[in-house]
Each structure stands twice: as C-alpha cells, then as structure tokens.
Amino acid sequence: MAGPFHFAWIAAPVAFDPLVHLVEDEQIRDLTLRQQEGEFASLQITVINPFEGLLGPGRRQWCWLSWHDGTAPVALFCGRLTGVAESVDGESVRLQFTARPPSYEALRNALAATLKVLPYWDPVWITGDIEDADNVLATYGARWHIDRRSLALTVSDELIGEDGTLTFGEADHTYDDVSVSYTGVPLSQVDIDATLAWTQGGTGTIDLTERIYNEALKHSDFIVAHPSSGIIQSMTGEGLASDWPEGGASLDGGWTVNNATYCEELTDRLYTRYDYHVVYEAYTTGTDERADEILAEDEGNLAAGWFHSDDWWAVDFPIYYLKQVTKIDWEADRSRIETIKSTVLADIQPLVAEAGLDENIGKITVNASDTVTEPDAITGDMPIGDIRRKSYLDTDRGQASVEYLLLLARAQLRLAARVVEVECKVPWGIGVGVTLRHNARIVDYRLPGGEAVGKVTAYEMSASGAGEHSVTVTIGCAIGRGGTVAGQDGEPTYVEDGYVASGYQVMTGAKLVTPSGDLAYQALSDFEIDDDGVDLLTLDEYSAVESLEVIHGLKEQAKVINSADPVEAMRQLPTQICVQLVPLTDQEFETNFTPSVDPLPIPRTIDLEAA
C-alpha cells in the first residue's frame, strides 16, 4: 500500500519531522489505529515479512506513522513495538505498537500530584491506597488521556471534550453504519452516608488564684491586698492550708493540680496575726460524775446546777493570712462523631421507569477515624487545625471534606447519565483528526431530535490496500436536561448584613456551590452541634468552673466568737473552699448533618424527549 501512508522506525519518541520521517521503512499493506477512553492508542499494521527478529540488538523499536492528504503530511501515531510478529500470512506479518510514553507511571504520578487539591482530593476520607494515582480522578469525573502523537498525558472530562466539537453531517457518514445503543441504566440519585470519628483533646492550665481571693473577700470585712496576691483570711487557717491540694494530685474529669499550687501562712509583718481574745464561763465535763449524768439525761435540768461549778476560760482566735496560688492543669479526651447524610438527585430525562429501585440508586458509604487529627500526606497539616475544636465538618476545611463527598456523587451521576452510545463511520479525511478530547455532533434524521452530541469515547481508523479508508467514531451521550445552579448568602443571625465584616457572624439558610459550579448545597452552619457548652478554645477560670464557693468564711466565724461555747462553735465552722470543675473526659458527642442538595444539572447531549 504505497503512499499516502508513511512509516519510519525511530530510536525513541521525538517530534515529527517530515524531512526525516516521511519515509517508507516498511511496506504497509493495511492498518488499524484505535483508542478507547482511558487507554493507550494502539496501531496494528500488516507489512512484508522482514525475516528477522524485530527485537534484536540495535534495531529501532519505536515508529512514526503519517499520512499525506495531498497537500501536507499529517502525523498520525507514535508508538513502540509491543510484541513479536504475528499472523504470518504468506510473505506478510502483523505488527503491534502502543502509544505508551516512557516512564508512564512517573508521568501519571506527577500529574496526579497536581490534581491532589481540595476539595477534589481529600485524605480525610480516602481509606484505600492513598498513593494510587487513579484515586485522584474519582471526583473529577475524568479519565487519563494519552495523545497518540505527542504522548502527552492529560485528563479529559467524561461528558465534555476539551478540544472542541467535530460535526458529521448526514452527507459525511455512511447511512448504514449509524447505530444507537443503551449502555446501562442511569442513576436517579446517589445517597451519601459518611461518618467521621475523632478525639477532641487539648491541654492547658487555668489559674483560680484571683477567683478564690474574690470569693473569699465576700466573707471578710477587710481588703488585705490586690486580688492577684491571692491572700485570703480564716480563723481556721492552719487546717485550711494543710488540706490545700498539692501539685501533681489527680482530680476527676481530666484535671490535675499544677505543681505551682500552694497555700501557706504569711509571716511578713504586714500580715501579723490579729487575735480575738475571748473569756467565757463554762462547765468542764468530767469534774463531777453526778452532774455529768444529769446533763447527759437532760441538759436543761436545773438540778445539775447544784452539783457542778463553772470555770472561766480564755482563748485566742487568730486571723490567719494565707497566701494561695491555685492552678489546675487540664487534658481533654472527648469522643466526637460527625455524620453527614445527604441525597444528590440527577436532573435527567425520564429514562428510568422506577427511580426508587436500588439499581437506580448509587451509594457512597465512608467511615473514617482520627484522620482529621493527624497530619495529611500532602501538606503535613492537621485538617482540623486545632484538636480543641468541637466540630470539624462545620469549618472551612471541613467544608472541603463535605464537597469531596458531593463531588464523588456528582462524578457517579454524570457518568451514569451517559447511557446512550451513538456510532458512525465517516471517510478517512473527515475523521482522521479525531481524538478522545473531542466532542462529536452526528446529524441524522433518524436520531431523536435529528442529532446527537457527545464525548468521543472511542475511534478506529482503518485502511487497506484495496483502498478502503474509513474512521469509526463512537460518542457517549448524556440524557440530562441542562440548566444551572446558584448559591445564596443566607440571613444574618447577629446584626444586619454589612454591619460587621464578612465571616464574623453565622448566616442561616446559606447555600454554597462546589468548585465544579453545578452543585448547590445547604451550609452546615444551619445545624446545631451536639455539645455541653464547654469551649476548649476559650477555656478559662470562669468557663471551666461549674461552681466555686467559700463556706464558713471569716464573717461567719466572727459571728460565733461571743457564743456560749465559742470553741465548739468554731469547731463546727472550718473554712472550706469548694470548686466544681466541668468534666473534660469520658464524654461522647454525636452531630448529624443532613444538608439538602439541589438536583444536579447534567448536560443534554441527546434529546430523548424531542417531539
């Protein structure tokens, strides 16, 4: 089959040069050049048997195939010999070539790395091989594309080609070689059910020194120092100081006494003890057995007075000045679970008889644990940013994780909507430029609406010595309705919109749009976070304390000094400081997000509803 086809053996892939490659190193008798989406282009040629090993040392194993259209040469294919000669037929053999670029895996991994961007790729949810380059395309709704000439590796959308649309009119294609088929059942919806579990944590220290001072001051008539001094007063200070918690002591709920904590009596002369000197008359039990018996039976019995005599007692009640520093360390350990359940509907033509059947519903079920609190594999950053947060999904980074799930659903619905396949055969000169990055428009009155437009999913170019040259093109058509979506800002919850900077207040009823531009969904800020009100991000000496109370302070003690038996009365009124801290461990919180999603508009590339 001399001209217009040319075949040149080359040592390695190089740019096509007509001055070098427009030769006939092999006499081609027939050829088939084909490619399907996601695969390498392949070339099969029948040539005169060279009667030698094609893989022998020194032999070139790459080739350039070109075609001359009568005006200029057209490069068609660059590939490598992939097998031994086969199908020996007389003096002819068949050779196979594949347009696989050298170091393909490295090229694919490098390209995949550039696609690992939020929200299209999110290690929070990826549970399989995170290094698998094919995982990257799951949300893009695209396939790898290898150019059959340049061997350039790119990605190409599954519904819309990036290199324009080729039109094949009724006069261009063969009448009897147009076919239409259905490739499957479209999905009416995709249900998302994802669960994310992690441990909310954090550490810190609260200083209760001033709070204790201020509370004790309510029980004293004396202002003794600045609140930061922590000085408190009591007539039972010795016992209070000895009972003060020591550094390192473990408390319930994730709390531990800080080593800087202490309570001791001040010896500075500015805080010299002041003593209340009290003299009182009282009977001392044990001096008269008969009187003791009467008193035990009836304390009010007047006869007891005949059998005992009172003694006079003197006692000093000192006012202790205690210097206290009270710091408590905390370490939180709280179980957090967040679930997101949502349904994404496809806005498609009614090809599905019963949309609610399981076969028409896609499922995305993901369970991940602790992925938000660990550095991710790409940036090294912890997705949640701060483990003290009470929610992950309701953050800017969490929004990307939500959109990742929605984009997974989008990719499934779009591909599933490409259920009509149209194939036609056109003359070589019209179809020779087709690639898998093209769309094709096939015009034929027998098609619904008189035409079909779709992404080229496969092509086959064939030529023989008998002069039969043709190109068969296959397109995948989506049965959507077209359309667009739009987001909305929502309503302010604090002050009028514009009064404060954007992002300062929560907006209810907001609708967000994914970067793909065709999915609108309800913002998660509309949902209430399951929580006990303890904010670890702002935990301090006020929010960490459920109650702080001083019992039997100086005022209460001073009131009993002049009682009938002040010693016994004081014994019943030891100063106590009671602090109840919020629990930070052994708690579980579960928040369920159920955002609504607008129906996904899908391109209408074939009109099955046409009149």
42-92 pLDDT tens trace? 999 998 887 777 777 778 999 999 999 889 999 999 999 987 666 666 678
Rounded Cα distance, 488 and 423, in Å:
42
Please give the C-alpha separations between residue 314 and each of 238, 282, 465, 564, in angstroms, as whole numbers. 20, 11, 132, 13
Considering only CA atoms, which of 182, 191, 602 is closest in space to residue 356? 191
CB-side neighbour CA atoms (13 Å) of 248? 0
Please give the C-alpha separations between residue 386 and each of 91, 337, 488, 541, in angstroms, as whole numbers. 74, 16, 29, 21
User: Which backbone phi and psi does 314 adopt, to 5 degrees?
Assistant: -125, 135
Rounded Cα distance, 421 and 454, in Å:
9
Rounded Cα distance, 318 and 570, in Å:
12
**CB burial readout 142-168, b (16+ within 10 A) else e:** bbbbbbbbebebebbbbbbbeeeebeb
CB atoms < 10 A from the CB of 347, how many?
A: 18
Q: Helix or strand or coil: residue 135? A: helix
pLDDT of residue 569: 85
Rounded Cα distance, 97 and 108, in Å:
20
Cβ proximity of 190 and 344 under 8 Å:
yes
Please give the C-alpha separations between residue 584 and each of 203, 374, 580, in angstroms, as whole numbers. 10, 21, 12
- Which amino acid is located at 251 in the chain? L
Residues 6+ apart with CB under 8 A from 55: 61, 81, 84
Mind listing the pLDDT tens digit for each residue in 177-196?
Answer: 999 999 988 999 999 999 99
Considering only CA atoms, which of 610, 603, 608 is closest in space to residue 165? 603
According to DSSP, residue 604 is labeled: B
Q: What is the pTM of this model?
A: 0.86
Tokens of 605: 């590339």
According to DSSP, residue 480 is labeled: B
pLDDT of residue 560: 87
Considering only CA atoms, which of 419, 338, 323 is closest in space to residue 372? 338
Tokens of 16: 């096509």
Q: Helix or strand or coil: residue 479? A: strand
Dihedral through CA 564, CA 566, CA 569, CA 573, nearest 10? 150
Rounded Cα distance, 597 and 159, in Å:
22
Pairing of strands 420-427, 179-182: antiparallel
Rounded Cα distance, 486 and 465, in Å:
57
Furthest C-alpha separation in the chain: 148
Rounded Cα distance, 135 and 128, in Å:
8
Tell how far CA 42 is from the center of its chain. 40
Cβ proximity of 478 and 203 under 8 Å:
no
Residues of the chain with pLDDT under 50: 1-2, 306-307
Considering only CA atoms, which of 430, 433, 427, 453 is closest in space to residue 442? 453
CB-side neighbour CA atoms (13 Å) of 12? 2
CA 149, 154, 157, 162 torsion: positive or negative?
A: negative
Cβ proximity of 62 and 13 under 8 Å:
yes
Rounded Cα distance, 145 and 152, in Å:
8
Rounded Cα distance, 484 and 599, in Å:
10
Tell how far CA 264 is from the center of its chain. 52
Tell how far CA 119 is from the center of its chain. 8
Cβ proximity of 389 and 534 under 8 Å:
no
pLDDT of residue 1: 41
Please give the C-alpha separations between residue 222 and each of 454, 511, 553, in angstroms, as whole numbers. 88, 59, 12
User: Which backbone phi and psi does 356 adopt, to 5 degrees?
Assistant: -85, -5
3-state secondary structure 275-333: EEEEEEEECCCCCCHHHHHHHHHCCCCHHHHHCCCCEEEEEEEEEEEEEEECEEEEEEE
Residue with tokens 């929580």: 531
User: Which backbone phi and psi does 185 adopt, to 5 degrees?
Assistant: -105, 130
CB atoms < 10 A from the CB of 37, how many?
A: 18
